[in-house]
Amino acid sequence: MRYISTRGAAPELGFGEVLLTGLARDGGLYVPASWPRWKAEDWAALRGLSYVDLATRIMHPFVSEVLSEGELADLCADAYAEFDHDAVAPLKQLDANSWLMELFHGPTLAFKDFALQVLGRLFDHVLRERGERVTIVGATSGDTGSAAIEACRDREAIDIFILHPKGRTSEVQRRQMTTVESANVHNIAIEGSFDDCQDLVKGLFNDPAFRDEMNLSAVNSINWARIMAQIVYYAHAAIALGAPDREVAFAVPTGNFGNVFAAYGAREMGLPVAQLIVGSNENDILTRFLDGNDMSVRDVHATTSPSMDIQVSSNFERLLFDLLDRDGEATAHAMQTFRASGRLPLDEARWHRATQLFAGGRFTDAEAGAAIAGVLEATGELLDPHSAIGVLAGWTKRRDPAIPLVSVATAHPAKFPDAVEAACGRRPQLPERLADLFEREERYSEMRNNLGDLQAMIRANNRAGAPA
């Protein structure tokens, strides 16, 4: 499989390069040159497979350049052995025709473990074969950081630097990052918002000399391999609910558009996905786009669902590329206009095409809180605020109640204990393996929102260039 950049001016690459590169050299994001398209009988043949076997089958076409099917199967078995639930991504029924897919049974209690546990191992494999080292940099609004750190800690060929917006993650989220003692892990609290952190990371990548000197790499949601690994659980749920003979709809609490883009990818591969519903908090750029073709940047507001406190959803560019009929030049132009003016230009016909598949719902903290209480009372399920927004979006925006709806629960409620307790009076408990999180010692630096300071800090603290 070959990969192309959404901006059309970077070299076409194979999987190994795409994995290590993250952002393309022209500022675009890598996508498959063409999606594998599976027929109904191909999907039907996947019925009854374990999560690990399904993951192997679905991901292998994307990675066959660097891993045999056997090697990939071992890697997946190892990655998903870290999960606490035997089903890996259990489905729970919420009402007559809607389900919750719990994606929080991984080591850091958020869906990001699904991709990052695979990614850390893929990096290790590819770097070992090449005898190389990388410096991984990433921005997190809370959950990516801990999942990335957990996936990369103590790996000999990797140094990892994770930026988080100071004071804007939950305490559990921060502690999951800052209490990791490994010498190759560096946490930096930036005085600014998540978008500021994301801009700093982009700034590092857009400096070619620094990028080469540090052998920079990214594991944030622009990395293609994350999308790939996330396709698996959509297929898993759809097949469990009757695909390919039956359509399914998904509701996804959305920030950077990575998770829901994986559902779109599953559909591109031929899975019968009838509708994709994105849930937003008050940072509702995607919902404004889907409601009225208004993709314009506003200030970021802090909410009880901090992993979605985002105004610029980087993965949206992958969908935009398809909406623009995969014209890289047009995508680059639209993104430049967006960057310069804060407003994405898209003609009415293309926007309309997007709204045939996607819908969006925006919910306040109070609405999310009421949903947490309501779902607990009706079903006994305790949701975190992100997952509650997904469920609400699904319930209010689904087009056809006869089509099974799967809402994805993206985080364990115990990651956001204060918001959950305030909403429903019950304080969720951390699972056993994290029970002493609040006693562990924290380690992180604080920094102004300044690219030069950040570069100096990374130079001083990494081992890139030294032989692996």
Ligand X SMILES: *Cc1c(COP(=O)(O)O)cnc(C)c1O
Catalytic residues: 112
**Binding flag, residue 307, ligand X (CB under 6 A):** yes
User: Interface residues for ligand X in 372-401 (CB under 6 A)?
Assistant: 386
Query: Which one, of 265, 278, 274, 195, lies nearest residue 232 by Cα?
Result: 265
CB atoms under 10 Å from CB of 383, counted, come to 32
311 contacts ligand X (rule: CB under 6 A):
no
Binding mask 211-250 for ligand X (x = CB under 6 A): ----------x-----------------------------
Q: Minimum Å distance from CB 242 to ligand X? A: 26
**How big is the site for ligand X, counted in residues (CB under 6 A)?**
16
Q: Would you put residue 444 in left (φ > 0), alpha (ψ -120 to 50) or beta?
A: beta
Buried b (16+ CB within 10 A) or exposed e, 105-139: bbbbbbbbbbbbbbbbbbbbbbbeeeeebbbbbbb
Q: What single-letter amino acid sits at 405?
A: L
Q: What is the CA radius of gyration of the chain?
A: 21
Using the Cα atoms of residue 163, residue 165, residue 171 and residue 172 in order, give the sign of their dihedral.
negative
Interface with ligand X, residue 308, by CB under 6 A:
yes
Which helix H or strand E contains 447, and what residues bound it? strand 445-447
Residue 304 in the binding site for ligand X (CB under 6 A):
no
Is 257 near ligand X (CB under 6 A)? yes
User: Which of 366, 360, 353, 420 has its CA nearest to residue 393?
Assistant: 360
Q: Binding segment for ligand X among 155-163, 235-243, 254-262, 458-466 (CB under 6 A)? A: 254-262
Judged by DSSP in three states, 184 sits in coil
Q: How far is the CB of 11 from ligand X (least distance, A)?
A: 26
Tokens of 241: 């609910």
Residue 258 interacts with ligand X (CB under 6 A): yes or no? yes
In the complex, least distance from residue 390 CB atom to ligand X, rounded to whole angstroms = 8
Q: Which of 253, 361, 369, 413 binds ligand X (CB under 6 A)?
A: 253
**Among 19, 23, 89, 110, interactor with ligand X by CB under 6 A:** 110
Binding of ligand X at residue 117 (CB under 6 A)?
no
Q: 32 - beta bridge partners?
A: 3
Candidate list 102, 143, 159, 309; residue touching ligand X; CB under 6 A: 143
Of 80 and 257, CB closest to ligand X: 257
Q: Token digits for 373? A: 């209480």
From candidates 108, 135, 169, 254, binder to ligand X by CB under 6 A:
254
Which of 21, 215, 223, 256 touches ligand X by CB under 6 A? 256
The least distance separating ligand X from the CB of residue 255, rounded to whole angstroms, comes to: 3
| 151 is a contact residue toward ligand X (CB under 6 A) | no
133 touches ligand X (CB under 6 A)? no
The CA–CA distances, whole Å, from 258 to 221, 289, 463 equal 6, 17, 30
Q: In the range 409-438, which residues lie near ligand X by CB under 6 A?
A: 410-411
Q: Which stretch binds ligand X (CB under 6 A): 202-210, 252-260, 291-299, 451-459?
A: 252-260
Terminal CA-CA length for the chain = 28
C-alpha dihedral, 212 to 60 to 354 to 284, nearest 10°: -60
By beta-carbon proximity to ligand X, the closer residue of 105 and 386 is 386
> What residues line the site for ligand X (CB under 6 A)?
110, 112, 143, 221, 253-259, 307-308, 386, 410-411
